[in-house]
Amino acid sequence: MASGEGVVDGTPLKGPVFEVIDLTSDNGSVDEPLKNLLQSCIASAKRDSAQEHESGEESEEEQWESESFYEDFVEGLGDEDTFGGAVDSCTLEEAIAFRKRLREVGEDQFITETIEAATISAKKLCTAFGISSPPLFEGLPDSAYYPLLGLGISRELSKRVKLPQYNTIDDVASLLKTSKNIIVLTGAGISTSLGIPDFRSKDTGLYSQLAHLGLSDPQEVFDIEIFREDPTIFYSVAKDILPSTNKFSPTHAFIRLLQEKGKLLTNFTQNIDNLEGHAGILPEKLIQCHGSFATASCMKCKDQVNGEVIYEDLKAGRVARCDKCIKQLRQSNATGLKRKRSSNSTIHSKLRKREKYEDSSDKEDYDIAVAGIMKPDITFFGEALSAKFHDRVVKHDRRLVDLVIVIGTSLKVAPVSEVVGFLPPDVPQIYISRTPCSHVNFDVDMLGDCDVVVAELCKRAGWKLDHEMIPKNQKIDVQSQDGYDSRYSFKPIPA
């Protein structure tokens, strides 16, 4: 048997370096250690999962802080381009069949029928579970993929099982009418009809438009450490995400309608545009998971102000300073107290040169202290979410919820993405967005513009959804998607 270290061109693989062992024999079959290795990987993943779900309030709250190792390798199974594009990639139909077979026969028999029987490579089988081939794995033997495959199998088996009694649009309409405590979890997709871009759409999302900033990852725009180092980076794009209107979409109106009918338990929103408030969602029914532009705080003195105070600076791409700090500085200067400004720190080379956002209105030889920088009260990467989010899910909603509706989000940002997996698995879960979400087994997937889907749902429920953006006598073409029993596409029929 050949062996080698898990490195390519001298570069260590992500995570601990491991030993790669070629388990194939001369006749192409797989040696006995294979199943033991895969089962060991699966067992390890299960232990990690069990530890995350231990009983007790403390462990439940700690669960929100974890980030998943496999996330870097998971691709959206709903993306048709993921399948059939290469010889070593499963087709969509194959992926569905493999996942179904795994649940039917269990992991032991599944491994026997696939890898042990040499009917498919581990590399290719990984794609059936949404795991793409890491670039650093290229050239390694197939056995290098066993840990990833074990992880994929464990993840699939740990997914919530779809409830078989809910399959149609009318089933969803019936759930709307009978449910009394509905959780609605929303993302940027509910605001795009108002001209506010989402973040991850391939060509139109905000992240796709930030290449000019020279960042290794566009998400760094919302990294708290980078903001502390150079707030000009965030302020240069803030105008693109700052809500320019108080209008709200038909989907916002749908959530308000649930509230008016006494059915809304909580609207968990990942959006920072504060349009839920404009739509009339009551503060006690709304959890703004990632904060909003409604308020802003000074990074130095922590003074909080109405967000509109810094809107002009945000729209101009100009770093806003704290008025309270400025007032204190002027009072200090009036009494002759001056401090030498500390030297600027050097930002990482991957960022563009720092702009001079500090005040230097006087031309004297010395520097005066700089007023604090204002930051909108949105949650950046690296900042903890509000305790209200954790407490609402863990201590309140989990025991009351009877229907979950996820709208306009790909559920890729933790810990909000983990909410649906944390709720009781026997509670129906519905998904509404333009593209499917592969890593959660929803009971019914409704794909299309969110505004179109909710308008059709209300029509089937016998509810009147009034909104100026919904055309009168609008007709919707609803089609079931091939290969799925409970996935539908929605398109408005041109008048």
pLDDT, average across residues 409-431: 88
427-454 pLDDT tens trace: 999 999 999 987 888 999 999 999 999 9
Q: Shortest CA distance to 271 belongs to which of 288, 254, 246?
A: 288
Average pLDDT over residues 179-208: 77
Query: Which candidate in 212, 252, 278, 290 is catalytic?
Result: 290
Higher-confidence position of 349 and 186: 186
Q: Is 290 a catalytic residue?
A: yes
Q: 370: closest CA among 361, 382, 381? A: 361
Two structure tokens written together for 8 = 């390519």
CA–CA dist 11, 6 (Å, integer): 9
Q: What is the 8-class DSSP label of residue 73?
A: T
Model confidence over 248-301: pLDDT tens digits?
999 999 999 999 999 999 999 988 888 898 899 999 999 998 888 889 999 999
Distance from chain centroid for Cα 77: 15
Q: What mean pLDDT do residues 124-135 have?
A: 85
Residues 356-414 pLDDT 10s: 444 444 433 323 347 899 999 888 888 887 788 889 999 999 999 999 999 999 888 77
pLDDT of residue 251: 97
For residue 415, is the peptide bond before it cis, meaning its omega torsion is within 30 degrees of 0?
Answer: yes
**What would the DSSP string read from start to end of 393-431?**
IIIIGGGT--EEEEES----STTGGGHHHHS-TTS-EEE
Beta bridge partners of 184: 267, 405
> Cα separation of 298 and 320, whole Å?
9
* pTM, entire model: 0.70
Mean per-residue pLDDT over the chain, rounded: 77
